[in-house]
Amino acid sequence: MQFHLNGFKPGNYQVPDAARKPYPNPPIEDLPEKVDVLIVGTGPAGLTMARQMSEFADIRTCIVDMMHGPLLFGRADGISCRTIEIMEAFNCSEMVVKETYQLKQNTFWEPDAANPQNIKRTEKISDARAGLSEFTHGIVNQARLHELLTQGMENSVSNLRPHYSREFLDLQIDDDLAQDLNAYPIMARFKRIDDDGAGKIETIEARFIVGSDGGRSQVRKSLNISLEGDSANKAWGVMDILLNTDFPDIRIKSFIQSKDHGAVMTIPREGGYLIRFYVELDSIDAGKRASEIQLTEKDLIAKAQKVFNPYTLDVKEVAWWSIYSVGQRIADRFDNRPEGSSDEVIPRAFVAGDACHTHSPKGGWGLNTSLPDTFNLGWKLAAVLQGKSQPKLLNTYSTERRKVAQQLINADKELSKLVATRPTAGDQSEKAKIDTAEIEAFMKRQSGFVAGTSIEYFPSYICTGQENQHLATGFNIGQRFHSAEAIRLADGRSQHLGHLVKADGRWRIFIFCDEEDPRKTSSSTYKLIDFLANSDTSPVRKYTPSNADIDAIIDTYIVVQQSDISMPELHDYLRPAKGKYGLRDYEKVFHAQGAVDVYKLRGINRTNGCVVIVRPDQHVANILPITAHEELSKFFDFFMIEQT
């Protein structure tokens, strides 16, 4: 898709440039007095949390922000493979794929040895993230991603919409009520900052609060959670521009180093014309903010023009620009529990996104780490609020996501030093030199982390079974379920199995059959299916309410090795009767004999098969033998609540 030809215009990219208008500020509505979940901040973390909560009609959610309306200009616009996988869970990946600029190549430029005042391309390579997902790393306006999440909220069963023009003042947590799950121990205050209601104070009682209000988070400060790490003394300028140039790689992500004027990193933007420039600036004094640097967008353009010599940059429009400092800090806690608390202590307040980890934007990690923060937290909070899981499940959020944040901080420190030609924090050398080979090696080494596909959670009771990893070597326990295509038995359609794991709070059990015919009652697969359907110890039977569909809590799919099977020949559990009419569901059974053999692609033991348990956030929770009925039950028994 092409747009922005006659100037940058924010808004819905499905609307032609000539007719596109910025997102309007919505009308002001009173805040509710009491909610289950209060979310502060409408960045990627806050909106992902709200989008997840909007799936549950029985959970009252409120999301509040200080801005007067939706975001118009992008800030963190790199969209990783994993982020698009998450958007698929929200049923909107198609629009993201359609509108993003897909990053396929990288180029590296250095001073020309024959004429050092000029730059010369030294290498052009394919992007290291290719093939890590069915999706491609890309670039799209962050505001557009926000809109897709907001539209999903509005179209959900809860018709959830953000409340804007509210300044968060403070919160109090009543410790006497904090361990009563049904209580509302949180009292939060907001001040209206719109013209009509300026100065009005509103108060909300909540069972839980999520602070996703950015690097200067007031929620974090109210919880006395501190940020630890390095302060920044290195500044970069960033701008989104429309320009004419004779630089040959303007539509390719490029690292450019000059001899005397620093470095520039360029990233092509969506629409075919817009380009993002990261421009290296000089070091800044300790304690000084990037916002205090007396530079304008004209200074950034002039600096970039020097770096690009002998090529010309004729900038026609600057859509957005800013100056930021490079620093890496992480919160000492991600929830309000005192450090060292036992699993019996219920956390009531959480921080997510930039509220608990700050870093430079060059690696594209901000949005792509913030959004998975609350994708991790959302389903857990919903499961506890709905009485499906024990409250101790909430404690795994901090354990899992703080590890990822620390990995991000470490990677960002390394990248920030690699792409700087002048000293960064902690670098005492007079001048550093970009080694493009080191940058290339870094990107290859960190490709899975940058793509989000290799993020792995610690072994725990919801990431276990490592002794069975050999049964499916391509489904790494703790990492996201790596999607692969299979053929739906009922109609022959090719289907990505990972796309079956929607953000609806349900667990998935994928059964990859052994070589036995699953129609035979003596086969291991049939016995497992019958156990799930009929045994008193079956987790499906124990944790599904009697008045709900059989797949309402745990959804089961099966992949057979034979293609000559018809649906009625299989156990009835695999085509369950659902809904008020008892209609049969024919989309639970697949076979592997398509264009790609999922068994071969994901290293599944064809002789023995296996069971892969997938969490509601798409991460692999456990791998078990098909015969491990008791172990399958014990897995869910550890944290789920039996339904009556």
Q: Which of 375, 520, 406 is nearest to 52 (CA)?
A: 375
Residues 409-421 pLDDT 10s = 888 888 777 776 6
466-637 to CATH, choices 3.40.30.20, 3.90.850.10, 3.40.50.300, 3.40.50.720: 3.40.30.20
CA contacts within 13 A on the Cβ side of 561 = 17
Distance CA 458, CA 464 (A): 9
Residues 359-399 pLDDT 10s = 876 666 778 899 999 999 999 999 999 999 999 999 999 99
Same fold, 101-139+233-325+419-451 and 466-637: no
Residues 621-641, mean pLDDT to the nearest whole number: 98
Residues 325-336 pLDDT 10s = 767 899 999 999
- pLDDT at residue 123 above 70? yes
The pLDDT score that the predictor gives to residue 233 is: 62
Q: Which residues contact 179 (CB under 8 A, 6 or more apart)?
A: 345, 346
Query: For the CA atoms of 166, 169, 175, 178, what is the dihedral angle to 10 degrees?
Result: 10
Distance CA 406, CA 391 (A): 25
Residues 531-588 pLDDT 10s = 999 999 999 999 999 999 999 999 999 999 998 999 999 999 999 999 999 999 999 9
**Alpha-helical runs (H) found in 459-570:** 524-534, 539-543
Helix axes 395-418 and 436-445, enclosed angle (nearest 10): 160
Sort 606 into a burial class: Cβ within 10 Å, 0-12 / 13-18 / 19+.
middle
Residues 245-257, mean pLDDT to the nearest whole number: 95
Q: Which residues contact 163 (CB under 8 A, 6 or more apart)?
A: 28, 29, 31, 62, 63, 64, 65
Q: Which of 269, 265, 264 is nearest to 242 (CA)?
A: 269
CATH number at 34-100+140-228+329-408: 3.50.50.60
The percentage of residues in the chain with a pLDDT greater than 70, rounded to a whole number, is 94
Residues 611-627 pLDDT 10s = 999 999 999 999 999 99
Distance CA 23, CA 146 (A): 11
- pLDDT at residue 285 above 60? no
CB atoms near residue 397 (< 10 Å): 22
Do 162 and 31 touch, CB atoms closer than 8 A? no
Phi first, then psi, for residue 314 (nearest 5°) are: -105, 95
Maximal CA-CA distance, the chain: 79
Domain spans of the chain, in order of start: 34-100+140-228+329-408, 101-139+233-325+419-451, 466-637
Using pLDDT thresholds of 50, 70 and 90, give the confidence band for residue 282. confident
Domain spanning 101-139+233-325+419-451: CATH 3.40.50.1820: no
* Radius of gyration in angstroms for the set of CA atoms belonging to the chain, rounded to a whole number: 26
Using pLDDT thresholds of 50, 70 and 90, give the confidence band for residue 431. very low
Q: Which of 184, 176, 301 is nearest to 240 (CA)?
A: 301
Residues 42-60 pLDDT 10s = 999 999 999 999 999 999 9
Q: Which of 235, 300, 289, 310 is nearest to 266 (CA)?
A: 300
Q: Which residues of 8-22 are buried (b: 16+ CB within 10 A; e: fewer)?
A: bbbbbbeeebeeeee
Instruction: Give the strand pairing for 554-560 and 507-512.
Output: parallel
